Structure 1
């Protein structure tokens, strides 16, 4: 059986809080892919009081979704990992921290499709909004885009704490990011869950030194995983 580190299980746990599913899963590993497209929207500099400003800018409501808060402790894995290929390290870091590069501040929201009665398998999306030192956001996305191009064949990661086993990332597939802001990047990380393919979707959009990250997965129906355009549009509208 493929071993999955506590780091990776916790990284996926960002969406288990939303979908109430991953606590029952025993073995998961993933891998990814990426794509970039230039946006045309206005630029926004990271505000001085970044954390408070991010709270005002992050998406508050989306039709068809229930929006709730999330803490860094729920979302981020704390154990450092090393990618088998140095060029792939930005992707490995993204999986663990649910943020690109090294932002100054990040706030999170969890969105789950609303339905009555409540469908525990409904699509879920995590949104992270980050601010960076001047120029840091563009550098973070550039490094991630380069990693996606260099790591199409996949890579593995090992935990710095000496934990046995490794996380296996088998494929990197670039996708088209949304237009409308300064820059966007989208990709799919493909792994396995109990021998079955498990894709993880990531989309990032940048305006100035602020980056919005969208992350989605669906272990109940992997083929249907997607980041709803209404979610990205709602967040992007708040950044324009």
Structure 2
């Protein structure tokens, strides 16, 4: 396969699965599942730690981004909103809409702010060879983070036999199945699921962890060896730990870190992405 073709496939894979999943790896959802509680997702709704309920602003979210070397064995780089897919995809099944919206760059409910990073296995390394993924950390107002996770959980259960979608670029896709996986024992509640794309041989994993009003969402696929797709446990644990530390800080920073720009904000208010009823 030529370099141009490989680049196109890689880009399509990242966008199509939102290879954003969060938030997105089972404290570690490997191909067949992962450690943690039962398949429905851990849910301790109503028992959030009071210190974690503060809404993190755009500048503050920059401090939760994982940096180079924080998760050994993985290459983590700065991403952007469109790394997870363009716009708001549509679907032929209304019940599956939360799963589809999560694969675009315009989440609903809209977060106050988000930061996006990509992760991959180092070139030439045997561990995580071919692994591609995205981390999206988003801060929400009120109960929007809880609502987002509740709707994803319901959609994953309802759409186990698959769904059709149209990407934000207008490309049709078909997912044959959705499989709920054991979630990580992290945050206030979490869930994980696996998407099986009818056109791509590589399945995609998604893990979402809620920490107060913040969602960490991980997406991953592996084009080189589909059987080895995973969201490494230490990656999820490291990301959630950074969110918790910031949320618990008595005096959280009010300025973005010197090494990064402001987190993405203003994702709210865009029109619905042409969902088919």
TM-score (norm: length of structure 1): 0.76
- Segments of 5+ residues of structure 2 without an aligned counterpart are 1-10, 21-38, 245-277
Question: What secondary structure, in the 3-state scheme, does the structure 2 residue paired with 1:185 have?
Answer: strand
Q: CA deviation at 1:187?
A: 0.3
Contact 2:15 2:86 in 1 (8 A): yes
Contact 1:201 1:215 in 2 (8 A): yes
Report the equivalent of 2:239: 235
- For residues 206-230 of structure 1, give each alpha carbon's deviation from its aligned partner in whole angstroms, at most 9, with x where no partner exists: 0111000111101111111000101
Q: CA deviation at 1:112?
A: 1.9
Bigger drift between 67-76 and 7-16 goes to: 7-16
Q: Are 1:54 and 2:61 matched, yes or no?
A: yes
**Distance change in 2, residues 1:100/1:66 (3 Å):** farther
Higher strand share: 1
Q: CA deviation at 1:166?
A: 2.6
Contact 1:35 1:185 in 2 (8 A): yes
Contact 2:90 2:167 in 1 (8 A): yes
The partner residue of 1:169 within 145, 164, 175 is 175
Question: What secondary structure, in the 3-state scheme, does the structure 2 residue paired with 1:11 have?
Answer: helix
Contact 2:55 2:141 in 1 (8 A): no
The partner residue of 2:74 within 53, 61, 65 is 65
**Distance change in 2, residues 1:42/1:124 (3 Å):** farther
Matches within 5 A, 1:92-131: 92-97=100-105, 101-114=109-122, 121-131=129-139
Distance 2:18 2:153 in 1: 23
Distance 1:110 1:145 in 2: 24
Q: CA deviation at 1:65?
A: 1.6
Q: CA deviation at 1:134?
A: 1.2
Report the equivalent of 1:146: 154
Q: CA deviation at 1:85?
A: 1.5
Distance 2:19 2:157 in 1: 26
Distance 2:168 2:64 in 1: 35
Contact 1:106 1:131 in 2 (8 A): yes
The partner residue of 1:37 within 39, 42, 52 is 42
Report the equivalent of 1:219: 223
TM-score (norm: length of structure 2): 0.66
Report the equivalent of 2:163: 155
Distance 2:210 2:224 in 1: 31
The alignment yields a C-alpha RMSD, in angstroms, of 3.0
Question: What secondary structure, in the 3-state scheme, does the structure 1 residue paired with 2:186 have?
Answer: coil
The partner residue of 2:192 within 186, 207, 217 is 186
Matches within 5 A, 1:11-22: 11-12=15-16
Contact 1:42 1:181 in 2 (8 A): no
Distance 2:17 2:150 in 1: 27
Q: CA deviation at 1:124?
A: 2.9
